[in-house]
């Protein structure tokens, strides 16, 4: 990350943080975990971006095909030459518990799509929220020990999904919140609302870095808990720690209402984040 910031700072006093940091960092981390050569990182970014383009099914299908083909070739090479990256370890583990090529490719696609899109957008969302509430940013600059708690609180407060997810159909009558949901009714569960539940969180509409417990469900729950939750937390912590240390004067270079947001995506986030320092 310091290398990305070095390049950004060397280019001048202003930059688009999404292009300089929030998008390059997660794809670099995931690609290094999988053992993808650095020369192919940009291709992976394009494929992941196209894969999640809801407005263009053909582009999405083409991106998936290219990504799956590349990963299948990478897996085949791991069977010939063993490596210590994640794909290499999974291939080596096939001696005890064989995994089909489809499973390995599917895991790689999931890690790339979730690890890149969600984390990249949430880094931008975190910084946007902090810079539009300068008092919160200053608290972290003055007291970086608050950052781990801030990551949990911002994860709770900031909705990451641009949709309410999949529609479920009730299989039996259920009473929920004083309302009867009948068998056959369509139900949409909005995680963002759960994270603002006043029965769980005191003053849920406030951002409070000092909450003792933040049992949010941003990363899911139980068997549906996000596989990469700890990696995402680590990246978010590191980003904030480095930014407050190296660029304490970070600020938006435009008015908040001038920012554009990514649309027609599964994940919400700023399209660009012009900043100065």
pLDDT of residue 147: 98
Rounded CA Rg of the chain: 21
Q: Read off the pTM.
A: 0.87
pLDDT of residue 184: 95
Q: Please give the Cα distance from 2 to 239 (Å, whole number).
A: 10
Per-10-residue mean pLDDT for the chain, 277 residues long? 92 93 91 86 83 78 90 89 86 71 84 82 96 96 97 95 81 91 90 90 95 91 87 95 97 95 84 95
pLDDT of residue 149: 96
DSSP states of 213-266: -----TT--GGGS-TTHHHHHHHHHHHHHHHHHH-TT-EESS-GGG--B--SSS
pLDDT of residue 238: 97
pLDDT of residue 98: 67
pLDDT of residue 239: 97
Residue 272 Cα distances to 119, 199, 254, angstroms: 15, 36, 11
């Amino acid at each position: 990350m310091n290398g990305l910031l070095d390049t950004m700072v060397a280019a001048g006093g202003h930059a688009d943080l999404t292009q300089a940091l929030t998008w390059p960092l997660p794809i670099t981390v995931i690609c290094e975990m999988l053992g993808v050569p650095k020369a192919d990182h940009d291709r992976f970014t394009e494929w992941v971006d196209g894969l999640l383009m809801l407005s263009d099914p053909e582009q999405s299908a083409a991106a998936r095909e290219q990504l799956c083909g590349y990963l299948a070739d990478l897996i085949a090479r791991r069977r010939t030459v063993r490596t210590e990256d994640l794909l290499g370890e999974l291939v080596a583990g096939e001696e005890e518990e064989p995994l089909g090529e489809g499973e390995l490719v599917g895991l790689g696609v999931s890690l790339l799509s979730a690890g890149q899109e969600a984390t990249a957008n949430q880094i931008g969302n975190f910084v946007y929220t902090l810079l539009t509430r300068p008092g919160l940013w200053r608290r972290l600059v003055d007291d970086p020990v608050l950052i781990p708690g801030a990551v949990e609180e911002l994860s709770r407060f900031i909705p990451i999904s641009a949709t309410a997810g999949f529609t479920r159909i009730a299989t039996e009558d259920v009473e929920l919140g004083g309302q009867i949901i009948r068998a056959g009714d369509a139900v949409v569960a909005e995680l963002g609302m759960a994270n603002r539940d006043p029965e769980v969180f005191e003053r849920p509409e406030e951002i409070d870095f000092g909450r003792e417990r933040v049992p949010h469900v941003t990363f899911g729950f139980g068997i549906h808990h996000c596989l990469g939750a700890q990696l995402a937390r680590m990246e978010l912590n590191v980003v904030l720690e480095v930014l407050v240390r190296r660029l304490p004067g970070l600020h938006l270079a435009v008015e908040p209402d001038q920012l554009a947001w990514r649309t027609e995506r599964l994940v919400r986030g700023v399209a660009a984040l012009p900043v100065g320092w």
